[in-house]
Amino acid sequence: MSHKLVSTSPTFGFYVQEPVDYLKQHGCEVELVPQGKKLTEDELVECASRVNAMIVGVEKITQRVIEGGKNLKVIAKHGAGVDNIDMATATAKGIVVTSAPGANSDAVADLTFGLFLAAARQIPTADRLVKGGEWPRIVGTAVNRKTLGIIGVGQIGKKVAKRARGFDMEVLVYDVVKDEAFAAEFGATYVALDEVLTKADFISIHVPLIDATRNLIGAREFGLMKETAFLVNVARGGVVDEKALFDALQEKRIAGAAADVFTQEPAKGNPLLTLDNLIATPHMGMYTREALIDTGMICVRNIVDALEGRKPEFLNNPEVLS
């Protein structure tokens, strides 16, 4: 039996072919929305209305979109976080929502340390000045033997802690759920959030965007940080109060920051982009070829399992199978 599927993700099917081939081998007609096209809600409703499955990125899958999917059976996130999908409506309509957690964790952990090094050693500034004909003497900050604070100790946070061992860093971690076995293995210490902020020289954020984490890092939290501290956010833009971050950077209350995520993406016009002590990247944490293959294959296996009546491995609303 043939199933119709549309992908509105800007990455699925454009960089690696293996996941698309898997879908076709399992009887799926695959349509890819042109890369870079930003769909309106009306266009997303139209897409949902004619398919059995959708692969989505970070676009908003609203109640109206889901209710427009008369034959929609699966919504698969091409990534981990499902905060852009109206889970209550999907569940009420019996639509399976899946994700691909952990597949991009190494890629995101690598980028986290890349951003730490770029910020601490002012690599983007050095590159720009040298290409402009200058030969400046730039004095940076060492990363090795410093204190790293990790906010959110899921798969990505743990892999950041693992990488920190190569830099001989002291690792302080904060999470509402503690994994003491992990802490013992990697020499990490669980502390309160305020202690992470007060003591860490480098801080990275790896929490999902939910009500409890929205604006988790705001003016009060920046006030606790060292003036020499660097912050990296590769989680979700809404976890950091961007106005408070702007103020902290502009007033030099922290040394620098890097953001791979913003509250509105693309981030054109965001005041943060005017600051020399902020490094901005285009939500590229998961984008390595290896991570895209792993994420894509988890995504499509979830879809095929759901369409063929099996429980997907990474099901976000298991109550739909009750």
Q: What is the spatial distance between Cα 235 and Cα 49, in angstroms, rounded to a whole number?
A: 31
**Catalytic pick among 227, 251, 265, 313:** 265
**Catalytic pick among 3, 163, 206, 283:** 283
Say whether 236 is catalytic.
yes
Which residue has 């009420």 as its token pair?
Answer: 92
Say whether 59 is catalytic.
no
Whether residue 130 contacts residue 156, with contact meaning beta carbons closer than 8 Å, is answered with: no
Say whether 78 is catalytic.
no
Active-site annotation, residues? 236, 265, 283
